[in-house]
Amino acid sequence: MTWLLGVIGDPVSHSLSPVIHKMWIREHGFDATYEALQVKRGELEHALETLSQREALGFNITLPHKEDALALADETSDIARRIGAANTLVRREQGGWRAENTDAPGFVRSLLDAGIEVAGSRVTLLGAGGSARAVAISLMDLRAEITIANRTRERAKALVSETGITAEICSLEEGISQAATADVVINTLSLGHSGKSLELPEATGQYFYDISYGKPAAAIRAEALAKNWQPMDGLGMLVAQAAYSFEHWFGVLPDTKEALAHCRKLVEATT
């Protein structure tokens, strides 16, 4: 029996998840296939009902379905509940789905792999959207001193209230202008996806971590380099969260080094 796995989203054709998971499936000899599955907003429930008939073992979930995946699950992990979104579904033996969120541990793993210590450090988080929630919760659990900078303070306040984290709140302009006073700056804004960038202040070698990668991160990376920041993109987080999803499905935590190196080559070839 060949198990079905895949990534569900819209759009989804750009996803590197099939590349990553197919490498690990081959490496560990599992009888499984991994597909990119485009499902339009509002159609996740119907899609899961159909896919369940194909011996589906689990799925990665990306935009715009993360909140719906959480709501449709029969069982929910604590971290997915805290974040308010699921990026991984795991088939239960008794039927239905367990919702997990591997974005948070994937983000933490990427920090550890890069040697970035945030405990007790001042961290400025740019943005308060869906992507920021997993990052903010992870930073709180790591005991960082957090400042959330967002265009609208109300959305930042909602993030703090809904997740129960402790953080200072300021406008996006304030956060960027004072970014150099932080030990680490983490960008969750989607500016790069529309070709925009940020005007950063001069730094003294602090990390600027953009959770995007490839073309969406290119302009901001160039700005960070020019202003004496140490830029880091989100490719390590992508591969790490994939590894934790793989572990949920197969009980095996794969090595990420080869997959990350392969994805890095693919991204650099298209940037």
Which amino acid is located at 150 in the chain? Answer: N
Determine whether the annotation assigns residue 241 to a binding site.
Answer: yes
Determine whether the annotation assigns residue 60 to a binding site.
Answer: no
For 123-153, letters b (16+ CB in 10 Å) and e give bbbbbbebbbbbbbbbbbebebbbbbbbeee
Determine whether the annotation assigns residue 82 to a binding site.
Answer: no
Determine whether the annotation assigns residue 164 to a binding site.
Answer: no
Q: Which two tokens stand for residue 270?
A: 């298209």
Place of tokens 């069982």: 75
Element (H, E) at 261: helix 257-270
Determine whether the annotation assigns residue 234 to a binding site.
Answer: yes
Separation between Cα atoms, residue 99 and residue 89, nearest integer Å: 5
Determine whether the annotation assigns residue 31 to a binding site.
Answer: no
CA distances from 11 to 37, 39, 174, 267 (A): 9, 8, 33, 18
Separation between Cα atoms, residue 265 and residue 220, nearest integer Å: 20
Determine whether the annotation assigns residue 212 to a binding site.
Answer: no
Determine whether the annotation assigns residue 33 to a binding site.
Answer: no
User: Is position 157 annotated as part of the catalytic site?
Assistant: no
Determine whether the annotation assigns residue 228 to a binding site.
Answer: no
Determine whether the annotation assigns residue 131 to a binding site.
Answer: yes
Residue 256 dihedral angles phi and psi, to the nearest 5°: -100, -10
Determine whether the annotation assigns residue 81 to a binding site.
Answer: no
Alpha-carbon Rg for the chain, nearest whole angstrom, is 18
Q: ω into residue 64 within 30 of 0, thus cis?
A: yes
Determine whether the annotation assigns residue 17 to a binding site.
Answer: yes
Determine whether the annotation assigns residue 152 to a binding site.
Answer: yes
Helices (H) and strands (E) in the chain, counts: 11, 12
Separation between Cα atoms, residue 17 and residue 172, nearest integer Å: 32
Q: Which two tokens stand for residue 171?
A: 């406008």
* Of 40, 66, 157, 227, catalytic: 66
Could you list the residues known to form a binding site for NADP(+), using ranges: 78, 127-131, 150-155, 211, 234
Could you list the residues known to form a binding site, using ranges: 15-17, 62, 78, 87, 103, 127-131, 150-155, 211, 213, 234, 241
Give catalytic residues, as residue numbers.
66
Could you list the residues known to form a binding site for shikimate, using ranges: 15-17, 62, 87, 103, 213, 241
